[in-house]
Amino acid sequence: MTQPDVASTHRDGHARSLYAATMHAAPDRPALVGHQHVDVCVVGAGFTGISSALHLAEQGFRVAVLEAQRVGFGASGRNGGQIVNSYSRDMDMIEARFGQASARALGDMAFEGNRIIRERIEQYAIQCDLKNGNLFAACNDKQLAALKHHKALWEKYGHQELELLEGDAYRREIGSARYTGALLDHSGGHLHPLNLVLGQAAALEALGGVIFEHSPMTRLEHGERVKIHTAGGVIEAERAVMAGNAYLGDIVPELADRSMPCGTQVIATEVLDEATAKRILPTDRAVEDSNYLLDYYRLSSERRLIYGGGVTYGGRDPASIEGAIRPKLLKTFPELEKVAIDYAWSGNFLLTLNRLPQFGRLNHNVYYAQGYSGHGVTASHLAGRLVGEIIKGESARFDAFADIRHLPFPGGRRFAVPFSAMGAWYYALRDRLGV
C-alpha cells in the first residue's frame, strides 16, 4: 500500500514544495459531516477529479468532491508543471498492439488535454504562470532518430507544431552541451500546477460544486445509488468517479491490481540571476530528455530552476532528494555547481504496465480514470472531459480508452516493486550506455 505522504507535509497540508510556498490563497475546506445526496460524487481532488467535477458542474450536475487531504495534495500539486502532449506511449505501439481503430481514436484525442487546459485558464482567468513550448532532448543519436520518428507519427495524427532541432540548433533553446538534438513542440508549455488545480476548484465552487477536504473515502458501497463513506459521513450519489490515482492505496482492490505507484523527485534552486537563467534556458521552455528514467526541468516564474528526475518504485523516497537529483542537474548544467537548493520534494504518479491511461467502470455507475504513467498533466484534463461525456450518456470516447486491455503487474503490487526496480536498473544502464 502507498504510504500516506503526511510526514513530509507542510503546515497547511501540502508537500513542502516550491508550489506550496507560492500558491494562491485557498480556503481550508471543511470535512464531510453527515449524510449528503448529490448526482455525482468524485473521489480525489487532483487534476482528474477536479477537472471531471468541473465538466459535470458545467453541464448542470450536482457534484461533490471528497479529498483525503487538500485540493492538489497529490501529483497534481507537485509535478514538473510540463504540458506534454499525448500519452506515455507512442502511437505506433498503440497501433501495433491494439489495432488501427484504437490508435485512430486515441490519436484524435492526443492533443485535446492541452487545449482543455488552455481553455480553462482563459475561461476562468486562472493565474498559473502559463508559458509556451516544450522540448524533448536527445542524449544520443539513437534518441534523435527516435524523435524524428515521433515527429512523423504525431504529424500523421494532425499535430503540425513540431520543430526538429538537429546538430547544435537546440543550443538556442538549452544551454547545455549534453544533447545531440531536440524536438520542440511549440504547442506544449509549462505552468504552476498547484495554482492550476486550485483555480479550477474555485471555478467548480462558483458553479455550485462542493469540495470536502480532510475527507478520505473509507468505503465504497455499490448499489443503485452509490454510497461513499468517510469517517464523518456518507455521500449518496447516482454515480461516482474514482480519481485518487497513486494516492488511492488499495482501498479499491480492482484498481490496485493493474497499476503501481512510483515516486519521482524534484528540486528547485535559489532564484537565478537573469543572465544565468538566459544562458541555461534562453527561451524559457520546459525540457524533458528521452531517457527511460528521464530528467525534466524548466524555470519557474521567479527564475528558479525546477529540476526533476528519478523513479522509486512503490512510491518510497530516497534518503536524500537533493542528493539524488542535484548530480543530474549538474550533469546538464555544470555551471550551477555553487547554486543553492531551496526546495526538494517528491510525489507519486501511477504506472500501468503498458503505460497507457486506465479508464473504465467498476460497476454500471462507478467510473475511474488513472494511471497516466508520468505524463498526466494533459491526459488528466482529457479524462475530466471524457468522464463528463460518459455521465451525460456519450460513451464512445471514454470507451476508446476503457477498451484498452491492462494486465496486472506480475506478482501484484508487492512483488512488482522488485521486478520493476530490476527493470529500472536495466533501463538506467541502457540510458548510460546510450543503447
Ligand X SMILES: Cc1cc2nc3c(=O)[nH]c(=O)nc-3n(C[C@H](O)[C@H](O)[C@H](O)COP(=O)(O)OP(=O)(O)OC[C@H]3O[C@@H](n4cnc5c(N)ncnc54)[C@H](O)[C@@H]3O)c2cc1C
Residues near ligand X (CB under 6 A): 43-49, 66-69, 73-76, 78-82, 84, 216-217, 243-248, 251, 264, 266, 296, 308, 347-349, 370, 372, 374-377, 380
Position 402, amino acid? A
Closest CA to 300 of 343, 330, 346, 349: 343
> 80 vs 96, which CB is nearer to ligand X?
80
3-state secondary structure of 336: helix
| Cell numbers describing residue 329 | 542537474
> 119 vs 335, which CB is nearer to ligand X?
119
Least distance in Å: CB of 408 to ligand X? 20
Least distance in Å: CB of 94 to ligand X? 18
Conformation bin of residue 34: beta by default, left when phi > 0, alpha when psi is -120 to 50: left
Least distance in Å: CB of 232 to ligand X? 12
CB 272 within 8 A of CB 240: no
> 234 vs 248, which CB is nearer to ligand X?
248
> 100 vs 218, which CB is nearer to ligand X?
218
Least distance in Å: CB of 109 to ligand X? 15
CB 37 within 8 A of CB 30: no
> 387 vs 416, which CB is nearer to ligand X?
387
Least distance in Å: CB of 275 to ligand X? 26
> 47 vs 170, which CB is nearer to ligand X?
47
**Contacts of residue 418, Cβ cutoff 8 Å, sequence gap at least 6:** none
CA distances from 53 to 38, 46, 210, 301, 350 (A): 12, 11, 9, 29, 21
> 134 vs 276, which CB is nearer to ligand X?
134
CB 396 within 8 A of CB 288: no
Least distance in Å: CB of 356 to ligand X? 13
Closest CA to 25 of 202, 166, 151: 202
Least distance in Å: CB of 260 to ligand X? 13
> 47 vs 307, which CB is nearer to ligand X?
47
Q: What is the DSSP string of 394-433?
A: --HHHHHHHTS--PPPTTHHHHHHHHHHHHHHHHHHHHHH
What does the alpha-carbon distance between residue 144 and residue 239 come to, in Å, rounded to a whole number? Answer: 46
3-state secondary structure of 98: helix
> 132 vs 142, which CB is nearer to ligand X?
132
Task: Tell me the angle at which helices 193-206 and 47-58 cross, rounded to the nearest 10 degrees.
Answer: 30
Least distance in Å: CB of 32 to ligand X? 10
CB 172 within 8 A of CB 212: no
What does the alpha-carbon distance between residue 295 and residue 303 come to, in Å, rounded to a whole number? Answer: 19
| Cell numbers describing residue 400 | 476508446
Least distance in Å: CB of 212 to ligand X? 9
By Cβ distance, which residue is nearest to ligand X? 376
Least distance in Å: CB of 403 to ligand X? 20
> 94 vs 117, which CB is nearer to ligand X?
117
